[in-house]
Amino acid sequence: MALEWIPWTVAPSKAVGVSVVLLCVMHLWALWAFGSFAPAAKIVQGSEHVPLPSLAPHTVVGWGACNKHDRDQRFWGVVGRALTLNETRRADGFVWLGDAIYADDLGASGWRTSSPTSMAAKYTAFRQSLDYAQFRNQLLAEPSGVWDDHDMGADGASRSFELKSLTQQLYLDFLAVPKTSPRRRRDGVYHLHTVPFHNTSTALTTRFDFAVCFVLLDARFHRDDPKVPGADILGEEQWQWLWSVLVDPTDEVGEPRVARQRDLFSRCAFTAVANGIQVLSDEKPTENWGVYPGARERLLRTLALAGAQRFVLLSGDVHYADYLTVPHMAFGTDGIVEITSSGLTHSLADVGVTPEVFDLLNANPRRAGRFIGRSFGSIAVTDTTAVVSVHEVTTGAVVLQHAVNIDTVGNTLLQRDHRFGIDVVAAPSKRLFHAMDRLPFTVSHRVRLRIIDLLASGWCALFH
């Protein structure tokens, strides 16, 4: 089936450029007014989040991003306990959404690519490390995932990264992907990861073939320079794969068992479309699909044409947790939702960025909630509901949460703040980004990062 475009526009949010001096004044004022290490709070105040044990789910899958493998890894015990259903029922799996390790090295002049031998040693050391190995042993299946730039091997890595095919094999080794898997022969680490019903007593097993499906997109291997006309993220081969998986995943997962239709959304009780960087955000200096408007438009139209329902977008990268919503009639009453969790070992809160400063510098009209501390995510499925949660990494407490009613078409939020709603059907407003956009992307991106350096005590490595 050929793709036919439908009316679709995500109206870019506006950002007004200000000088470095003004940014610093705002930062110092916020530190004076609110304290330099105020608790990392979320925008949605007073919401009651449901802990996983109270949900009594039959399926739980963890997910996360941004793990500096040479830092303290004892938090994996917290992650494991948060995902464990009970004393006899282990979690169903874990999915990486980028930067499982930092394969490159940080020097005085910034990030530099390591040798393949060094990268392989880092992957092996982390996989075999005590805390992560114990966590893996608690799961019913090996972790899966997709990479971002640092575990690909270079800061800001894209299609021009010369070692990408070699590091792809290292990444698949880390995930214990069999040498005979078709994923070994693809240009990129994109794939469909399915989570079966390990609890066969649930009524959902008579309607769906899988409890959760992860459509994991590689936003690095084929990514163009955004200044190139018609710049793309996925590459045509991955676009064609995505369409075929959405409309009929038989080649990936076999014939339908109980589902009445062949498309992915009919076969999965809940679906997560995931990659390393944010899709719905236009805010800089973090990388996002907003820099590639044609690719983002194509992604959302592809999902709409494939009949996407009971799904969420997931992402990592930014070193804070985010809850973004965009209403659109093609996806039910609540439109599209993106949940971001990042990072496991470091976050903006670690360098003294307060929630108030964050909101001043990174305001987003699509944001319904945020948490700027260290975090990881989970997806819990009950007989009636799929719940996506973001957890604080040191306690496992739920700090953001989104729910989808499996019995109805479209998404249903546990909490929503309508103040952040925007009309995406109307004509798009003109982008009002920083004047730095006129510079080459690599230059402007670095300038923005240096501005954040000043605001975050000069720790650029923690922000990107």
Would 166 be classed as within a structural domain?
Answer: yes
Would 462 be classed as within a structural domain?
Answer: no
Coil, strand, or helix at residue 291? Answer: helix
Q: What is the mean pLDDT of residues 408-423?
A: 33
Among candidate residues 91, 102, 39, 103, the one with its CA nearest the CA of residue 63: 91
Would 452 be classed as within a structural domain?
Answer: no
Would 435 be classed as within a structural domain?
Answer: no
**What phi, psi does 255 have (nearest 5°)?**
-70, 150
- As a whole-number percent, the residues of the chain with pLDDT over 70 amount to 77
pLDDT reported for residue 334 = 72
Distance, CA of 387 to CA of 368 (rounded, Å): 16
Would 426 be classed as within a structural domain?
Answer: no
Among candidate residues 154, 273, 159, the one with its CA nearest the CA of residue 220: 159
pLDDT reported for residue 408 = 57
pLDDT reported for residue 48 = 62
Confidence of residue 70 (pLDDT cuts 50, 70, 90): very high
Could you read off the pLDDT of 149-177 as tens digits, one per residue?
Answer: 999 999 999 999 999 999 999 999 999 99
- 96 forms beta bridges with 64, 145
Residue 7: pLDDT over 90: no
Work out how many domains the chain is built from and give that number: 1
Coil, strand, or helix at residue 330? Answer: helix
Would 197 be classed as within a structural domain?
Answer: yes
pLDDT, greater one: 443 or 180:
180
- 278 forms beta bridges with 288
Would 27 be classed as within a structural domain?
Answer: no
Domain residues for 283? 60-408
Residue 182: pLDDT over 60: yes
- What number of other Cβ atoms are within 10 A of residue 161's Cβ? 18
Coil, strand, or helix at residue 151? Answer: helix
Q: What is the mean pLDDT of residues 295-324?
A: 96
pLDDT reported for residue 169 = 98
Residue 30: pLDDT over 90: no
Coil, strand, or helix at residue 70? Answer: coil
Coil, strand, or helix at residue 80? Answer: helix
Would 10 be classed as within a structural domain?
Answer: no
Tokens 């676009």, residue located: 239
The CATH number of whichever domain residue 310 belongs to comes to 3.60.21.70
- Angle at CA of residue 92, ends 90 and 98, nearest 5°: 125
- 144 forms beta bridges with 95
The mean predicted confidence, pLDDT, of the chain is 82
pLDDT reported for residue 43 = 32
Tokens of 40: 């990392």
Could you read off the pLDDT of 356-411 as tens digits, one per residue?
Answer: 999 988 889 999 999 999 999 999 999 999 999 999 999 999 999 999 999 854 43
Sign of CA dihedral 55, 57, 63, 68: positive
